[in-house]
Amino acid sequence: MAFCAFAKEGGDNAYTSLDNKFIVKYMPDATDLQVKVYLYGLFLCGSGSDFTLSSMAEVLKTDEESVKEAFAYWQDYDLVQILSKDDEPFYVEYLPVRASSGKPKKIKYEKYADFNTELQRKLQKVGKPLPYNEAVKYMRFLEENDIQPMAFLLIAEYCINKQGEGVSAYYIFNKAKKYIQNGWTTYDLVERALAGYNAHEKEVSLLFSALSLSRKADDADYAVYQKWLDQGFDKGGILAAAKHLKKGTLQSLALVIEELAEKAKFTATDVKNYLSEREELANLTFRVAKKLGVKVSNPAPFIDEYIRKWKEYSFEDESILDAALFCLRTGKTDFASLDDFLEKLFTDGILSLEAVSSLLKEKNADLKLFSKIQDLCGIPRKSEAGLSLLHVWRGWNFSDEMILEGAKRAAGTASPIPYINKILAGWKENGVFSVAAIPETVPAAQKPTFVNPAVEAVNAKADRENFYAARRAKAERIAERYLQKAMGNEEFASVSAEITRMQLQLAKAEMYGDANLPTLQAQETALKKRKQEILKEMGLTEAHIIPQYACKKCNDTGFLQSGKACDCYKA
């Protein structure tokens, strides 16, 4: 069904009939499109064909909005009546031309001669002509809305400056309607409303340039800029923050501005100094995190809680980084542990680069010695008590060589560290301070005539467990060292984390029969391949980061998969 029809009194025509009154009285003042729309609609009224608004727009090579405006023009002359509401399909009823009681609402061009001349001049600046039918739209807007022509011209000028050659009458009308709704209809009121925007046009333009934003500023951008000024920032301070970002959006700049406001940094100098210092602290935070083997996405909380304090304590960056590496070697891989260590140094007055370096050199030597003891005795991890005993043993005048000799004799025992301490205490008591002075044999203790079988079985079980524990710990310790080295590579750490996440996705996909399973499997294969490539670039293989147990049958657990005891213990 067509969207146009005759009124009941209009009659039914087998052909399209046009009243001469329309030609003489109405057509001369109408635009080409308005005449086309009226005539084609008149044709549709008699055709009875199924035609829509979009179909008419397509035939006339225009858009639906222009067709609606043309019908609205004829409705002003009482030649048609638009019956549809906003939420209904568009429908027009044609009224008889001879019975028309309405009078043509012709606009007197001379009434708006000055307005049209000035508007034409402003549009020509951006290469936009103002044809007569376009000028009619502006004059009709003034006729239908209660706004002073010069006030409307001021709004038009603002829109032209903002949009350039892309400006349209609809853009100007929408802007003007908002001002009319707010009651800004006089020249003074419009000028006052636009003053804030125009005043900051240059500043906001510089801001956008600093952020590498190619779009044009809008009212919301000017409102945000004014808000920052109201907070106490000067123009130079806002621009300095944008230049520091170099590239971004107003939203990302707003986050920086919010932080600056909290720190009461409002001037250009204060902003530059603060952001420069923050960037240095952020870089230090990332470097410390890398030394500790942890990942930091947002450095801000770490800066506020730790980094600033350490800098206030007068620690050099190099000292902080060396301390972080020491913490990693002792298994303390977080900022809180590093903070405890630096707090102790601060309390002891060890602050200068030389003092911290000297202390860490001594502690790293202890770590190296303790690692050798671990290899000999199979101690699973470093402990504060074990490291502190090194100082005690050196205080007894024992060399590293003598301490390691004691470690050899403690290998395989249930508690190696106390056993080493017992051996060294005995040597000290007997004045044995060199390897050459160590007795070749130690008199065996008198074996008791009777040993409780239950006790003997418990001891045998303990010896067996200690043997395997030492083996496993050694293999795992070596693998852990290589893994820590590999995790120092950011790409390796990222790929490893992605593989872990991928395995969870694969498990879900397999469980629920996800169609993406082959794709996920292919992605996992690619990630594993890249992981091997990164290891190869570092001179490592998968075997280096996976514990290589001495016995491949039981993996140094002492038991086979069947549950039977492995024969490697007896061997």
Does the pLDDT at position 438 exceed 80? yes
**Per-residue pLDDT at 458:** 53
In three-state secondary structure terms, 448 is: coil
- What is the Cα–Cα distance from 133 to 125, expressed in whole angstroms? 20
How many CB atoms sit inside 10 A of residue 470's CB?
Answer: 22
Least confident of 273-277, 317-321, 442-446: 442-446
pLDDT of residue 89: 83
pLDDT at 485 over 90: no
Question: Which sequence spans correspond to the domains of the chain?
Answer: 4-94, 109-199, 201-266
Which one is predicted more confidently, 218 or 356? 356
Under the banding of pLDDT at 50, 70 and 90, the label for residue 450 is very low
Identity of the residue numbered 391: H
For the stretch 317-355, pLDDT in tens is 999 999 988 888 777 888 998 999 899 999 989 989 899
Question: How far out from the chain centre does Cα 464 lie?
Answer: 53
pLDDT at 51 over 60: yes
Both tokens of residue 306?
């730790």
| DSSP 3-state of 159 | helix
pLDDT at 510 exceeding the cut of 50: yes
Give the pLDDT confidence score for residue 394 in this predicted structure.
82
- The residue-averaged pLDDT of 496-522 equals 75
| 52 pLDDT more than 50 | yes
Query: Which pLDDT value is given to residue 307?
Result: 92
DSSP secondary structure letters along 524-555: HHHHHHHHHHHHHHTT--HHHHS---S-TTTT
Position 409 pLDDT exceeds 90: no
pLDDT at 559 over 60: yes
Rounded (10°) CA dihedral 170, 174, 180, 184: -100
Percent of residues, the chain, with pLDDT higher than 70: 86
Ramachandran sector of residue 383 (left: φ over 0; alpha: ψ -120 to 50; beta: rest): beta
Partners of 5 in beta bridges:
93
- Greater confidence (451 vs 285) lies with 285
Confidence at residue 105, expressed as pLDDT on a 0 to 100 scale: 59
Structure tokens given for 49:
């064909």
Tell me, what's the pLDDT at 9?
52
Confidence band, pLDDT 50/70/90 cuts, at residue 269: very high
**The two three-digit tokens of residue 542, written as one number:** 């998968």
Q: Which of 12-21, 65-74, 438-447 has the weakest average pLDDT?
A: 438-447
Residue of 76 and 368 predicted with greater confidence:
368
Mean pLDDT of the residues in the chain: 82
d(CA 453, CA 434): 40
Q: State the CATH architecture for 4-94.
A: Orthogonal Bundle (1.10)
Measured between alpha carbons, how far is 46 from 416 in angstroms, rounded to an integer?
Answer: 108
Q: How far apart are CA 517 and CA 519, in angstroms?
A: 5
Residue 446 scores a pLDDT above 50:
no
CA angle, residues 29, 32, 36, in degrees to nearest 5: 110
Over range 510-520, report the average pLDDT. 71
Give the tens place of pLDDT for each residue, 191-233. Answer: 888 876 666 777 888 888 888 888 878 778 888 888 999 999 9
For residue 370, which of 386, 351, 349 has the smallest C-alpha distance?
386
pLDDT of 43 > 80? The answer is yes
* Mean pLDDT lowest among 4-13, 43-52, 550-559, 561-570: 4-13
Task: Report the largest interatomic distance among the alpha carbons of the chain, rounded to a whole angstrom.
Answer: 141
pLDDT band at 449 (very low <50, low <70, confident <90, very high): very low
In a 3-state reduction of DSSP, which class is residue 10? helix
Q: Token pair of 481, please? A: 């060292």
Kindly report which listed range (174-183, 287-296, 468-477) carries the lowest average pLDDT score: 468-477
- Give the whole-angstrom CA distance, residue 292 versus residue 275: 25
The residue among 105 and 144 whose pLDDT is bigger is 144
Task: Give the mean pLDDT of 36-50.
Answer: 85
Q: In the sheet that 92-94 helps form, which strands lie side by side, from edge to edge? A: 4-6, 92-94, 80-82
Structure tokens at 291: 């030394």
DSSP run (H or E) holding 93: strand 92-94
| 46-50, 365-369, 487-491: range with highest mean pLDDT | 487-491
Mean pLDDT is lowest, of 87-101, 184-198, 454-468, for 454-468
Contacts of 313 (CB under 8 A, 6+ apart): 342, 346, 351
Q: Between 279 and 454, where is the model more confident?
A: 279
Burial string for 368-388 (b: 16+ CB within 10 Å, else e) reads ebbeebbbbbbbeebeeebee
Of residues 134 and 87, more confidently modeled: 134
**Per-residue confidence band for 282, with pLDDT thresholds at 50, 70 and 90:** confident
At 119, which amino acid appears? Answer: L
Both tokens assigned to 376: 């000999």
> Radius of gyration over alpha carbons of the chain, in Å?
44
Is residue 445 pLDDT above 60, yes or no? Answer: no
Lowest mean pLDDT among 35-44, 353-362, 385-394: 385-394
Phi-psi region at 539: left, alpha or beta (left = phi > 0; alpha = psi -120 to 50): left
- Long-range (24+ apart) CB contacts under 8 A made by 98-107 are 98/19, 98/21, 99/9, 102/76, 102/77, 102/78, 103/78, 104/25, 104/26, 104/29, 104/77, 105/76, 105/77, 105/143, 106/29, 107/136, 107/139, 107/140, 107/143
CB atoms within 10 A of CB 33: 17
Burial class (CB in 10 A: 0-12, 13-18, 19+), 119: buried
Does the pLDDT of residue 441 top 60, yes or no?
no
Query: Is pLDDT above 80 for 404?
Result: yes
141-193: per-residue pLDDT in tens? 888 888 999 999 999 998 888 788 888 888 899 999 999 998 999 999 998 88
Quick one: pLDDT at residue 106? 61
Q: Using 50, 70 and 90 to split pLDDT, how confident is the model at 500?
A: confident
State the pLDDT at residue 443.
41
